[in-house]
Amino acid sequence: MSSAPVSSAAAVASIGVDFGTSNTVVALVAEDGSVETLRFEHGGTRHSVYATALCFQQERAGLPPSAEGGPWAIERLVEAHSAVRFVQSFKTFAASAAFQTTQIFQQRYTFQDLLAAFLRTLTRHAGPRLDLGAPRVVVGRPVTFAGANPDEALAMERYRDAFGRLGAAEAHYVFEPVGAAFSYGRRLDRDATVLVADFGGGTSDFSIIRFARHGGRLKAEALGSSGIGVAGDTFDARIVERVVAPRLGRGGSYRSFGKVLPLPTHYYTRLTRWNELAMMKGSGDLRELRELARSALEPEPLEDFITLVEMDLGFSLYRSVSAAKVALSAEDQVDFRFADGGVEIGSTIRRADFEQWIADDLTRISATVDRVLAETRLAPAAIDRVFLTGGTSFVPAVQALFADRFGVDKLVSADQFEAIATGLALIGASEEPARWAVAA
């Protein structure tokens, strides 16, 4: 298929939606075969991704809060002069049976309520060319959903409910790395067995696909897939655990009935998870933190933690942590700095230390790659190409994991944001999109 942009007048043949933990991307394939990733104009900038975030604001008493998404959600958060609720990384709740609802102002929201609200903002800002009620819509999903005990059936029920509200009741749901493989497959000029490694925010997913040309046309066969809920957000969490949490009181003590006790750790566990940090303001955690601060031996760090939650500084913290992680891919050490709302945190992070912090995570990722190789009964030598996508694929320790196993000459990287959505749209435009869909 052509990679030329889709004309604004061209009829859309298929739509691919990569609903990600941190960012969402939409691609279109026109009837003439041209492909385009939707861009969003905001603040004089064309964005190739739509931040997976929501910002709710109570504009009038008695009415449901209004929702904004993407860069408009971030703008609302930064410029808010009244109370707002900012929600990020909520995809991580998709397969959690423990997550039933969250309260936003006076209204309770299920996961599917949040996702539907997000999709409404997405379609509103995309304009009429994005019609989720179109005949061929393909939505990406992880091979393994994030969470300790992910309920895949529940996650898919929630996806179908939310997308169905926007008209996509008949959408096909395809593994995200399979979408990435289709994007990469267009480059191939010969038969190849490809391992696709897709590193998202919440999950790392792996698929092996065999590409072959028959009669001048590229055919693909999915051989196997595996996934794990360890990815970019997990690596961020290691930085939060080691650098941020101690500065906000972790390891401290408080007095209770004449005894000195360690501060509870579950607040700091929530601090490391962007989806849960975003929800702390609407739960009882804020009240409990205030009570602990009154009896803490060192109240100042807890007071900064309270400020972080109270002022919705989670997204600002996320950007600082993520920026440090990205910088460590190019530098041996970086100076981490976070300063917002009167809270200041600083530390020098060495790449060697970071790689030690994520060593167990890399071991689990490696075991997941072993699983898909065992499932397909393929040795590493039988893999012709390893296609890496997603921001975490640029972490040197991740690159080394695949280079050591498959050989550096087999590694291929792509645009960390657009590959999956493009491939999903291409699947939608193929002869049999349903054969790539996941039945569950």
The model's pTM is 0.89
Q: Tell me, yes or no, whether 299 lies in a domain.
A: no
On whether the CB atoms of residues 225 and 205 are closer than 8 A, the answer is yes
Q: What is the CATH number of the domain that holds 81?
A: 3.30.420.40
Per-residue pLDDT of 226-262, as tens digits, reads 999 999 999 999 999 999 999 999 999 999 999 999 9
Q: Tell me, yes or no, whether 147 lies in a domain.
A: yes
The pLDDT value recorded for residue 220 is: 87
Q: Tell me, yes or no, whether 145 lies in a domain.
A: yes
Give the number of other CB atoms < 10 A from CB of residue 172: 20
The full DSSP string for 284-316 is SHHHHHHHHHHHBSSHHHHHHHHHHHHTT-HHH
Please tell me the distance from the alpha carbon of residue 111 to that of residue 260, in angstroms, as a whole number: 39
Structure tokens at 170: 């008949």
Q: Tell me, yes or no, whether 348 lies in a domain.
A: no
Per-residue pLDDT of 340-354, as tens digits, reads 999 999 999 999 999
Q: Tell me, yes or no, whether 370 lies in a domain.
A: no
* Residue closest to 248 by CA, chosen among 280, 217, 282, 289: 289
* Residue closest to 325 by CA, chosen among 395, 272, 246: 395
On whether the CB atoms of residues 198 and 174 are closer than 8 A, the answer is no
Q: Tell me, yes or no, whether 258 lies in a domain.
A: no
Please tell me the distance from the alpha carbon of residue 14 to that of residue 172, in angstroms, as a whole number: 11
The pLDDT value recorded for residue 415 is: 64
Amino acid at site 69:
G
Per-residue pLDDT of 7-34, as tens digits, reads 455 689 999 999 999 999 999 999 888 9
* Residue closest to 27 by CA, chosen among 420, 440, 439, 437: 420
User: For residue 366, how many C-alpha atoms fall within 13 Å in the half-sphere facing its CB?
Assistant: 16
Q: Domain count of the chain?
A: 1
Q: Tell me, yes or no, whether 78 lies in a domain.
A: yes
Structure tokens at 192: 């190849």
Degrees (nearest 5) of the Cα angle 140, 141, 146?
Answer: 145
* Residue closest to 427 by CA, chosen among 8, 4, 25, 15: 15
Domain that holds residue 127: 12-174+422-436
On whether the CB atoms of residues 16 and 140 are closer than 8 A, the answer is yes
Please tell me the distance from the alpha carbon of residue 413 to that of residue 184, in angstroms, as a whole number: 9
- For residue 1, pLDDT over 50 is answered with no
* Residue closest to 368 by CA, chosen among 401, 399, 400: 401
Q: Tell me, yes or no, whether 162 lies in a domain.
A: yes
